Amino acid sequence: MRQLFQEIRRNPLLWLLAFVPALFAVQRMKPEAHTLLFGLSVLAIVPLAALLSHATESVAVKTGDAVGGLLNATLGNLTELVIALAALRAGEYTLVKASIAGAIVTNSLFMLGASFLLGGLRHHVQEYNRVNARLQAGLLFLATVALLVPSAVGGADGASKSAFVTSLSLGLAVLLIVAYGLGLWFTLGTHPEIFASAAHGEEEEAPWPLGLALVTLAGVTLLVALVSEVFVESVQEAALDLGMSQAFVGFIVVALVGAAAEMASAFAGARKNRLDLSVGIALGSASQIALFVAPVLVLASYVLGPTPMSLQFWPGAVVMMLIATMTAALVTNSGKSAWFIGVLVLTVYLVFAMTLYLLPPSG
């Protein structure tokens, strides 16, 4: 417990934890203050995500390579998953899909671009292992393409026959989870050396004892779930007040908030001239959303949601996801980076954000 407090004293990001009790207090006293609740829940999720990430890594270190890697890979996007599950239970499928699409775009454009920019401001030209980067970009592209088939075929045909799309989404979810399982076996079992450098980088922080880590993991997951519920309840009214479309909130705000902890690691890696680490986190995290989080949510919708959720995205989201993964593939192709590459990748992200912000709310 002392270690937990030490950690909190050392890491200014964790001071935001003060917003967690503040959120619950406001929720009790002013349940109709949607915009305030929205702001507080965003601020409360960031430090919880950081704690979750540290706890996962500590458990991973203690349990040895294979199980630890598995945990790390599976729980790496736990925050995104918990937020999306809260939205799923509330039947907010538009928000769920926007957050899936947004997480892929944010990881492969914002996290990658900001890493290149931050790294490039310190180092003239940064080189990284381009064979691994290409392999990971290839995996991300394939995962995204598989995820987008229902939208592409359904949308291209102008036929949104719902029975067809629903059964296709279910079959696809099963296929993707099988592919994800095989991917874990590949990463941890048969070919761990390809992803070695990325895993290595995170161990610099001091791990917690197993007991503390497990308790933190359980407690913080519960807190994230409670905060997410407030977040999902307040987001729609708050978006109206703030003049933001729901697409913007799901795509940009939720995605940035959910990935805050991973971004901290990726940016630190870039500044230390370890771009392999940054690229691995950004592309790996995006792949995981497509291969694991998205299909789990489809399956969960059969249990938790009012109706089965399909994997049909709105056409603009499809275009953005495809462009984001192709950009990631093209940009990591040369194995070299300089600050302007980061600027251009961020420009594409800003263009997307601007588009979503300006999009009429009805769209």
When asked if residue 299 is in the footprint of its own copies (CB under 8 A), the reply is no
Q: Which of 66, 149, 210, 222 binds its own copies (CB under 8 A)?
A: 149
When asked if residue 211 is in the footprint of its own copies (CB under 8 A), the reply is no
Alpha-carbon distance 76 to 82, whole Å?
Answer: 12
When asked if residue 327 is in the footprint of its own copies (CB under 8 A), the reply is yes
When asked if residue 354 is in the footprint of its own copies (CB under 8 A), the reply is yes
Q: Which of 86, 139, 220, 257 binds its own copies (CB under 8 A)?
A: 139
Report the nearest approach of its own copies to the CB of residue 245 (Å).
11
Partner residues linked to 126 by β-bridges: 337
CB 299 within 8 A of CB 257: no
Q: In this complex, which beta carbon is closest to its own copies, that of residue 135 or of residue 264? A: 135
Q: In this complex, which beta carbon is closest to its own copies, that of residue 45 or of residue 356? A: 356
Q: What is the helix (H) or strand (E) element at residue 336, kind and residue range?
A: strand 336-337
Report the nearest approach of its own copies to the CB of residue 262 (Å).
23
Report the nearest approach of its own copies to the CB of residue 187 (Å).
8
- Give the contact letters, 94-133, x = binds to its own copies (CB under 8 A), - = no: ------------------------------xx-----x--
Q: In this complex, which beta carbon is closest to its own copies, that of residue 307 or of residue 333? A: 333
Report the nearest approach of its own copies to the CB of residue 143 (Å).
7
Per DSSP (E only), the strands in 98-195 are 126-127
Q: Which of 8, 36, 70, 142 binds its own copies (CB under 8 A)?
A: 142
CB 242 within 8 A of CB 39: no
Angle at CA 15, nearest 5°, toward 11 and 17?
Answer: 120
- Give the contact letters, 165-194, x = binds to its own copies (CB under 8 A), - = no: --xx--xx--xx--x--xx--x---xx--x
- Which region holds residue 92: left if phi is over 0, alpha if psi is between -120 and 50, else beta? beta
When asked if residue 241 is in the footprint of its own copies (CB under 8 A), the reply is no
What is the rounded (10 degree) CA torsion for 172, 140, 105, 305? 20
Determine the 3-state secondary structure of 183 from DSSP. Answer: helix
In this structure, what are the phi and psi dihedrals at residue 126, rounded to the nearest 5 degrees?
-110, 135
User: How many CB atoms sit inside 10 A of residue 272's CB?
Assistant: 15
Q: Which of 76, 150, 269, 284 binds its own copies (CB under 8 A)?
A: 150
Stretch of residues binding its own copies (CB under 8 A), selected from 7-15, 65-73, 263-271, 324-332: 324-332
List the structure tokens of 191: 């070919």
**Rg (the chain; Cα; Å):** 20
List the structure tokens of 262: 């991973």
Name the amino acid, one letter, at 142.
L
Alpha-carbon distance 335 to 223, whole Å?
Answer: 40
Q: In this complex, which beta carbon is closest to its own copies, that of residue 39 or of residue 316? A: 316
When asked if residue 161 is in the footprint of its own copies (CB under 8 A), the reply is yes
CB 200 within 8 A of CB 69: no
Q: Which of 98, 101, 290, 341 binds its own copies (CB under 8 A)?
A: 341
Please tell me the count of residues contacting its own copies according to CB under 8 A.
68
Alpha-carbon distance 48 to 20, whole Å?
Answer: 9
In this structure, what are the phi and psi dihedrals at residue 259, rounded to the nearest 5 degrees?
-100, 10
Residues in touch with its own copies (CB under 8 A): 124-125, 131, 134-135, 137-139, 141-143, 145-146, 149-150, 152-153, 156-157, 159, 161, 164, 167-168, 171-172, 175-176, 179, 182-183, 186, 190-191, 194, 314-316, 318-320, 323, 326-327, 329-331, 333-334, 336, 338-341, 343-345, 347-348, 350-352, 354-355, 358-360, 363
